[in-house]
Amino acid sequence: MNAREILSKFGVEATSGDHVVRSPIDGEEIGRVAFDNDASIQSKVAASVDAFRVWRDVPAPRRGELVRLFGEELRAHKELLGRLVTLENGKILQEGLGEVQEMIDICDFAVGLSRQLYGLAIASERPGHRMMEQWHAAGPVAVVSAFNFPVAVWAWNAALALVCGDPVIWKPSEKTPLAAIATQALFARAAKRFGSAPDELSQIVLGAREAGEALARDGRIPVVSATGSTAMGRALAPVVAARFGRAILELGGNNAMIVCPSAKLDLALRAILFAAVGTAGQRCTSLRRLFVHESIYDRLLEALKSSYARLAIGNPLDAGTLVGPLIDARAFEQMEHALAVAKDEGGRISGGGRALADRFLNAHYARPAIVEMSAQTDIVRRETFAPILYVMRYREFADALLEHNAVPQGLSSCIFTQDVSEAERFVAAAGSDCGIANVNIGPSGAEIGGAFGGEKETGGGRESGSDSWKAYMRRQTATINYSDALPLAQGIRFDL
């Protein structure tokens, strides 16, 4: 089924407008959309403010019911939406389906959360007083999302925001508007079954950078959750901060693995493959740097190269394909550029280059590359959004840890070891400086139950599980005096 047919199953179409959407699978046009302009963005934000006034008063468990219904729609349409993600983004079908599964999982999580938006009862120092911490809905939440997770990232934000009492305005990547339109259609079905959701509780703003900037500037939007490159975050964060808004930033990563002498190499190998070449290296958590102990370096490298040689690169809709296309020509050029620089900096490259050019003239399939480096040079410290794995050898564990942390990004990290001391050191305060640290698990494919996000240039935001919901709410400390006196805090006397 093609993109148009899938959209029509959802009762929507994307056939008019100036913006042409092309599939990275073959470069063919799969839809057209019209971008929002300033006036339409303004009126969508106004509608979101109206929706907020109604939604914040709906009891949270009832708000959870809407998210439960949305989860049902996603379950019923997982195959179709997953396929549309693959058609528009190029990730293999298994990963397209996995992305929709993540949406379902976060809906389930949010439904439970809707009965657990707990505050604290705090001991007051004054007699006859009660003090408590409450969480109130914050207001409209803008979600600016990246092309590589065209629907899951929105769901991580939206499912939480909705149970927290916040309407959502979604600015998807200009490269993947169709999956957003389809998701919005499913949400509308859930809202209809729910019966009493305010209009415009969830909206889409279509456009490129300018549309994201308009939302970032808008003082009516207290929370802007932005996922994308560090360059995007660097531009957006000061705009939100200048109006004292809250930005949840989920930016670039440069994730690493340390493979220690005691590691189970078969497990490490599988983890490396999925993390380094899965999604054609276009995950924020993709494995980009590999530190291998010198005693096992040659053995692991040989096994890795032999696995790379057997990778099935091809149409992501075909069963058996493990590596689909890059998103566009620019992504391929950036990969080529990074490999050229790595070579200049002393790297030894296996793989790389364009694949299947004769079959897919207007698409960009790349052979994943392994680059052996003798040191962590400038290019290794940068995120190149492509399947390039830089491999370095180490002798002392402490040095590996130092190098591991010596990059500007701090998203995901992992270690493969059977040595409990190494494992503990890796996750200790002086260990990995990333938001995610795994032992005997690759860096990508996080579960939704934990808080997701990273430090340093990754932006510091947390989304999804744990207590990430607090970023979508307004914290209030409320103190109630039920006595007949008015004692002042800190024992202050202020009598006439």
CB of 453 to ligand NAD, least distance (A): 6
Identity of the amino acid at 65: E
Q: What is the token pair recorded at 266? A: 């078969």
Catalytic one of 164, 260, 284, 434: 284
CB of 210 to ligand NAD, least distance (A): 8
Nearer of residues 217 and 343 to ligand NAD, judged by Cβ: 217
Identified binder of ligand NAD from the candidate list 110, 232, 257, 338, rule CB under 6 A: 232
Angle, CA of 426, 429 and 434, to the nearest 5°: 65
Cα distances from 64 to residues 55, 95, 185, 193, in angstroms, run 12, 27, 19, 13
Judged by CB under 6 A, the stretch of 204-212, 289-297, 370-378, 484-492 that binds ligand NAD is 204-212
296's CB contacts (< 8 A; 6+ apart) are 259, 261, 263, 265
- Interacting positions 154-173 with ligand NAD (CB under 6 A): 171, 173
- Rule CB under 6 A: say whether 228 interacts with ligand NAD: yes
Of residues 203, 214, 210, 133, the one with CA closest to residue 161: 203
Identified binder of ligand NAD from the candidate list 24, 177, 253, 442, rule CB under 6 A: 253
Of residues 24, 26, 170, 53, the one with CA closest to residue 103: 170
| Distance of alpha carbon 69 from alpha carbon 438, whole angstroms | 33
CB of 77 to ligand NAD, least distance (A): 23
Identified binder of ligand NAD from the candidate list 24, 64, 252, 442, rule CB under 6 A: 252
| Distance of alpha carbon 243 from alpha carbon 86, whole angstroms | 38
Identified binder of ligand NAD from the candidate list 458, 464, 471, 473, rule CB under 6 A: 458
* CB-CB contact of 21 with 32 (8 Å): yes
Nearer of residues 273 and 284 to ligand NAD, judged by Cβ: 284
Catalytic status, residue 260: no
Identified binder of ligand NAD from the candidate list 19, 32, 209, 264, rule CB under 6 A: 209
Q: What is the token pair recorded at 135? A: 């969480």
Q: Is 250 left (phi over 0), alpha (psi -120 to 50) or beta?
A: beta
Catalytic status, residue 5: no
| Distance of alpha carbon 143 from alpha carbon 204, whole angstroms | 9
- Rule CB under 6 A: say whether 250 interacts with ligand NAD: yes
- Rule CB under 6 A: say whether 332 interacts with ligand NAD: no
- Rule CB under 6 A: say whether 455 interacts with ligand NAD: no
Q: Which residues bind ligand NAD (CB under 6 A)?
A: 144-149, 153, 171, 173-174, 208-209, 212-213, 216, 227-229, 232, 235-236, 250-253, 284, 383, 385, 411, 458
Catalytic residues: 250, 284
